[in-house]
Every structure is written in C-alpha cells, then in structure tokens.
Amino acid sequence: MNKEKTLPVIDPKSIHPNAFLRDSVKTKQALELIAKLAKVTDNLTQKDIRKWRQAWQVAINVENPVRIYLLDIYVDTMIDLHLSGIIQQRKSQILQRKFKLVDDKNKEDQEKTKLFQTKWFKDTVDLALDSVYWGYTLIELGNLLYGPIMKFEKATLVPRKNVIPEAGVVIMQQGDSINKGIKFREEPYASWIIEAGRADDLGLLLKLSPHAISKKNVMAFWDQFAELFGMPIRYAETISRDDKETVKIENMLENMGSAAWGIFPTGTSIKLLESTKGDAFNVYDKRIDRANSEMSKGVLSQTLTTEQGNKGSQALGNVHQDVADDVTNADADFIKELVNDQIIPLMLKHGFPLEGYTFDWDDQDSMAPDIEMKLLDVYDVDPEYYIKKYNYPILGKKATPAGKPVKQRDDFFF
C-alpha cells in the first residue's frame, strides 16, 4: 500500500504578492547594486578653491557629468566639526519627530505606524536628508523579512561616485562609460530603490565647501604662525672666539628645554627675543568665526541659535527661531512627500498592507510651553493632559497659607 505523500506547509506570507517580483526576491542578493560595485578609496589630497571650481565645472558638464572630484572635496569638507555639528542639529529635528499613518479620514492606525518604526525606515530618512547636502542620493532596500512586523532587511546608500543620476545609471567602476552601467530605473532594480533629490542637484556642500576649505587653510597658517612666533627665541652673545666654546654654548641652548637653565662661559649673555606679532587673533580667529557664521547661514539660514556670544534682543532671537522652524518644516515636507510619493507605493508593490493610508507628522504633542501658559491663563485644562505628556503625577492644587495669595511666576514652565 502506497503511503500518501505529505506536502510541505507553505507560509502564505512567504509568497510575494507581485508575480514579477516573486522570483527576484529569491535572488535579491544577486541583484544588489552595491554588491556589484568595485570599491575605491576616497582621494584625500589637499583641496583648494581652484580645485573646487574645476570639480564643479566637470560635474555640470552636459555631455559627460562627472561628480567624482567634487565628491572628494565634499568628503574633505565634512570633517569640519562646526559644519558636521550644525548639519546633525538640523537633521535631528526630523529624525526625532513623531509620525503616524492615517486613513482618508485622517485617523491614525497604530498597526500601520509600527511598519515604519523600524531601523530600515529611520536609515532611509537619514540618507534622504543627506541629499540636501550631498545632492542626489540613491538608496537601495534589502530583502523582505517576515515576522511579527513585515519589513525590509536594511536601507543602504549606493556609493555616489558610482551613480550617474542624469542618465539613471549605476557604473560598476568609477570612470566607466554610461553605456556599461546598470539602468536602475528599470526592473528588477526599480522595485528596490528610493531616489532622494533632483538628478541635477549638487547639494548645499557645493556652497559650503569654499568656506570649509578657507577655514582649514587659515587654521594651518595659524599653526605655522604659532610655531614661528609663539615661543620666544633664545639668543646668546659671547666674547669667546674659541670654536669649542661656541659649540658648548650651542649645545646648552639646545638642551635647556623646559628646564630653562644652563652654565655658560664668562662673557656670555643670554637674551629672549619676544615676538612683536600681536595681531594673530584678529587675523586668524576672526576669519575662522566668519567661516563658521557663513556655514551656519547656509545650513540653518541663521546664526543666533548656534553661535555663542551672539547677543541680541528677545525679538531678534524669536525671529531667528522662526527661521529655524521654517527650515525644519521644509525638511519635514520633503520627507513627507518622499514617503507618500515613493516609499509607500514601493511598499504596496511588495505587499505591505498600506492601501488607502498616507504618512503624516504627529505634531499634537509639540505645543510650545509658552502657548500652553497662554491657554492656562484663559482656560481650565484637564490635568490628565500634563500627566500623559510629561509623565509627572499631579495630585491637586497646592495649598497656600490663609490670606497669602499665590505668587505668580513669569518663568514657570512644566
């Protein structure tokens, strides 16, 4: 009697909903653009304004745009601590912002929101924000993973030096012709990539690089100045004509070091020649400050929220903060459009249950403390609002001694 063969149990989640992509999922590792690229070390040669201008010219060449040299300058620019700090400050305003997935009635679905509370999505947003500074950015998503939450394995930057966005091509080796590249806007690659920024965008670093280059050169010149004029020169005079005595004095001067003493022959006088160059601070430090302020204007569109010692009226500070908020809102709109126009349609193609849902920012708890105080002056507010928002228990109104009114505080904030 033949035994009936038991068919393997197939998890329906393992079957890709898109017929074309079903087979490509199995071979996604072989399709990865990044796996095909030849890795090349960045060029860290000394940069100057002349090289920056030449690199810019080559990058905007209509017939054969090459960004390799400009990207090398960008890498060198990004080691500037002030610049990298203000860029991270601007990015963090978006990366730390709450979001939600809503239906056509603007009602949040928490289960749908959880699909985006993953590392691959945060990495995608992080890389997309980089496009503001580096220009066009190509992001490749990894394999699909099925578990408690359906998600992509990772989100990875396709090396910019290998991407020719104007032609929609990724070249395997830097310097290859466009004809040898992979057309990433065609299937199967198109179903795994996200494009951030315009194809012809060279990013804010194009404008920021000259200031970073100048700042780096000025700091190097200041180091040379300190080496030449920072320490007083030891100077010895002697009446001896004996060469042996002269060599002795020379050795003593050289070996004095931090001990600052020596035994010299009779008739020898020692002098310290102090530098009279006293304008180094105004020449070098002021130029560095100007470079920093120019970069702050480029990234944040203002300086008052970052520069210490920048004294101004409260009204001026509010204006600068409003400008900073405008920059943040512009970045938020950019990410919102990217998610709704590219990421969600791509996720739907891979079977994520997002039909009819859109991405939006969750700003209901971002009310500023000063607005809250104004509302408290006019309206009675449910204490539960503050308990939930600040995770701090409110037991009731504070008891005050009879006949003594409660003192109002202008600096009171929850």
Comparing 3-17, 172-186, 205-219, 287-301, the range with the smallest average pLDDT is 3-17
The band of 283, judged by pLDDT with boundaries at 50, 70 and 90, is: confident
Dist. CA 76–CA 88, nearest whole Å: 17
State if pTM tops 0.75: no
**Residue 135: exposed, middle, or buried by beta-carbon count in 10 A (0-12, 13-18, 19+)?**
buried
Q: What is the pLDDT of residues 208-259, one digit of tens each?
A: 999 999 999 888 887 777 766 666 666 666 676 777 777 777 777 676 655 5
Comparing 7-11, 138-142, 205-209, 335-339, the range with the smallest average pLDDT is 7-11
Would you say residue 55 has pLDDT above 50? Answer: yes
Residue type, 264: F
The band of 412, judged by pLDDT with boundaries at 50, 70 and 90, is: very low
Would you say residue 14 has pLDDT above 80? Answer: no
pLDDT in the model for residue 1: 46
Q: Which of 17-26, 53-62, 360-369 has the highest mean pLDDT?
A: 53-62
Dist. CA 343–CA 352, nearest whole Å: 11
Instruction: Please answer whether residues 112 and 150 qualify as being in contact, where contact means their C-beta atoms are separated by less than 8 angstroms.
Output: no
Q: What is the pLDDT of residues 344-368, one digit of tens each?
A: 999 999 999 999 999 999 976 555 5
pLDDT in the model for residue 371: 66
Q: Compute the Cα dihedral for 324, 302, 79, 197 and give only its sign.
A: positive
Average pLDDT over residues 178-199: 91
pLDDT in the model for residue 187: 87
Average pLDDT over residues 23-36: 56
Q: What is the DSSP string of 265-317?
A: -TT-EEEEE------HIIIIIHHHHHHHHHHHHHHHS-STTT-TT----HHHH
Q: What is the pLDDT of residues 138-186, one digit of tens each?
A: 999 999 998 888 999 999 999 999 999 999 999 888 878 888 889 999 9
Instruction: Please answer whether residues 99 and 242 qualify as being in contact, where contact means their C-beta atoms are separated by less than 8 angstroms.
Output: no
pLDDT in the model for residue 309: 47
The band of 110, judged by pLDDT with boundaries at 50, 70 and 90, is: very high
Q: What is the pLDDT of residues 80-97, one digit of tens each?
A: 999 999 999 999 999 999
Backbone angles phi, psi at 222, to 5 degrees: -65, -40
pLDDT in the model for residue 152: 95
- For the chain, the structural domain boundaries read 231-274, 369-414
Mean of per-residue pLDDT scores for the chain? 79
- Structure token pair of residue 359: 């991405």
